[in-house]
Amino acid sequence: MPEAVQYFNYLTPGGVSLAGAPDSIPTASIAVAILVEDARAGVSDARKSQVEISHNSRALAIHKPVGSVGRFCMPGQDAIHWPKRGHHRSTTLNVAAIADAFDDIFGKVAA
């Protein structure tokens, strides 16, 4: 399994430790899954969102259409400085494209 995929489940909001935290606080994998499922169900803000995956560090950002950004990284990392670390490489995916691809593969979500 590629290293990036292995660490995806461990990325936390802002790099905080989730030890003892409520289960309702999602890791990156859960947050992206919820976002994609909302997009598949036709939620406009979810469909307009983007997921940015860092190539330089184990980090992921969810960009909402209103301009807010939720950053996920390994516990102990500083998510705020990710875009300021010099040459940064990342891939940005439109959530609508991911949702539409899932619909093509698995069928539409029942309304």
pLDDT tens digits in sequence order for the chain, 111 residues long: 466 667 888 899 988 888 888 888 889 999 999 999 999 999 999 999 999 988 777 889 999 999 999 999 988 887 666 556 566 788 899 999 999 999 999 998 766
Are residues 25 and 18 in contact, defined by beta-carbon separation less than 8 angstroms? yes
Name the pTM for this structure: 0.86
Other Cβ atoms within 10 Å of 52 Cβ, number = 18
Are residues 102 and 40 in contact, defined by beta-carbon separation less than 8 angstroms? yes
Crossing angle of helices 95-106 and 28-40, in 10° steps, is: 70
- Phi, psi (rounded to 5 degrees) for 107: 95, 160
- Both tokens assigned to 4: 């990036």
